[in-house]
């Protein structure tokens, strides 16, 4: 995809804003799909220009069922109209925490099964941003090129530009500690991990944090914030260990239910995150940056 005139960039409706930012960064035109909803609920889509022989880029978060289905429709439409190549960018992959099923549970690992649906629509290339688990990358038979895009450079630049000083990075559990250690190496700062146990679907308990946070600003880093429960518990343990201030940072700001109100009432002074999850914008507690520049790195 070296000739920009041969590129057609589209998006599912949820990722339109991010697609516009990406188009500006790449100096290409964003082409918005034609959409209609009929009285019976059926959704009409049309490419507003020919895609035959073109390199089609589809940007689409799959944070809910309708966005997931729309992404499948756009891929299938590109295949139907003979696009030269179909290249998919998924800024946020829904069900990404359900990448495996416990033996004998009869659970459906939707992180894998839904990603497999995307692969079976036969795009040529699929890129994912800051995955919860790389297991979904292998949910195909080898015929699809897949890539995991880490946003480490953007995160480092954001922290460096935030005005925060004398900080230590904190992982809310040992599972995410490798990435936190990598970020800490780029920032030349200390890091630690909290002790966390999950005892139900959306319930965790954080027991303790190392006193390396004493007198420092603790930046609690995770890949996503869903309800915020474990992040807020980790913040409380950081303050108990002597932290001077606590900031939360995550790529995907899901912020389900009343999580915003919970953060406003918590000891966390700021939540830094990206625009991968549709609709997230900066406000009194959220500091949102765009992942659009990560495709230029």
What pLDDT, in 10s, does the model give residues 234-243?
A: 999 999 999 9
Given a cut of 60, whether residue 120 has pLDDT beyond it is: yes
Residues 36, 42, 47, CA angle at the centre, nearest 5°? 45
Would strands 196-200 and 34-37 be described as parallel, antiparallel, or unpaired? unpaired
What pLDDT, in 10s, does the model give residues 176-229?
A: 889 999 999 999 999 998 875 554 545 555 556 778 899 999 999 999 999 998
Comparing 197-201, 268-272, 283-287, the range with the smallest average pLDDT is: 197-201
Residue 152: which of 32, 226, 249, 225 has the closest Cα? 249
What pLDDT, in 10s, does the model give residues 64-119?
A: 999 999 999 999 999 999 999 999 999 999 999 998 888 999 999 999 999 999 99
Q: What is the mean pLDDT of the segment spanning 255-276?
A: 96
Q: Are 158 and 140 in contact (CB under 8 A)?
A: no
pLDDT the model gives residue 175: 79
Q: Are 236 and 262 in contact (CB under 8 A)?
A: no
pLDDT the model gives residue 148: 95
Comparing 13-27, 208-222, 257-271, the range with the smallest average pLDDT is: 208-222
Query: Is-above-0.95 flag for pTM?
Result: no
Task: Please give the domain boundaries of the chain with CATH numbers for all domains.
Answer: 4-149 (3.40.50.2020), 152-296 (3.40.50.2020)
Comparing 120-124, 132-136, 252-256, 276-280, the range with the smallest average pLDDT is: 132-136
pLDDT the model gives residue 196: 57
What pLDDT, in 10s, does the model give residues 126-182?
A: 999 999 989 898 888 788 999 999 999 999 999 999 999 999 999 988 778 899 999
Confidence of residue 1 (pLDDT cuts 50, 70, 90): very low
């Amino acid at each position: 995809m070296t000739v920009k005139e041969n590129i057609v960039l589209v998006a599912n409706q949820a990722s339109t804003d991010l697609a516009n930012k990406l188009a500006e960064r790449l100096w290409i035109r964003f082409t918005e799909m034609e959409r209609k909803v009929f009285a019976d609920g059926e959704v009409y889509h049309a490419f507003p220009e020919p895609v035959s022989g073109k390199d089609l880029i589809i940007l689409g978060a799959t944070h809910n069922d309708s966005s997931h289905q729309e992404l499948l429709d756009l891929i299938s439409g590109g295949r139907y109209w003979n696009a030269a190549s179909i290249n998919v960018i998924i800024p946020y992959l829904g069900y990404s925490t359900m990448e495996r099923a416990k033996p004998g549970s009869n659970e459906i690992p939707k992180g894998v099964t839904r990603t497999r649906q995307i692969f079976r629509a036969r795009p040529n290339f699929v890129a994912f941003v800051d995955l919860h688990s790389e297991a979904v990358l292998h949910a195909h038979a080898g015929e699809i090129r897949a890539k995991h895009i880490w946003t480490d450079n953007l995160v480092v630049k954001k922290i460096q530009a935030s005005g925060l000083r004398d900080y230590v990075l904190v992982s809310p559990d040992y599972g995410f500690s490798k990435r936190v250690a990598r970020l800490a190496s780029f920032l030349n700062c200390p890091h630690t991990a909290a002790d966390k146990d999950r005892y139900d679907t959306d319930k965790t308990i954080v027991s303790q944090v190392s006193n390396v946070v004493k007198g420092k600003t603790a930046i609690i880093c995770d890949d996503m914030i869903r309800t915020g429960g474990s992040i807020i518990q980790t913040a409380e343990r950081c303050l108990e260990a002597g932290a001077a201030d606590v900031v939360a940072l995550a790529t995907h700001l899901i912020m389900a239910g009343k999580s915003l109100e919970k953060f406003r009432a918590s000891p966390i002074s700021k939540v830094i995150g990206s625009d991968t999850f549709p609709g997230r914008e900066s406000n009194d507690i959220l500091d949102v940056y765009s992942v659009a520049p990560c495709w230029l790195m």
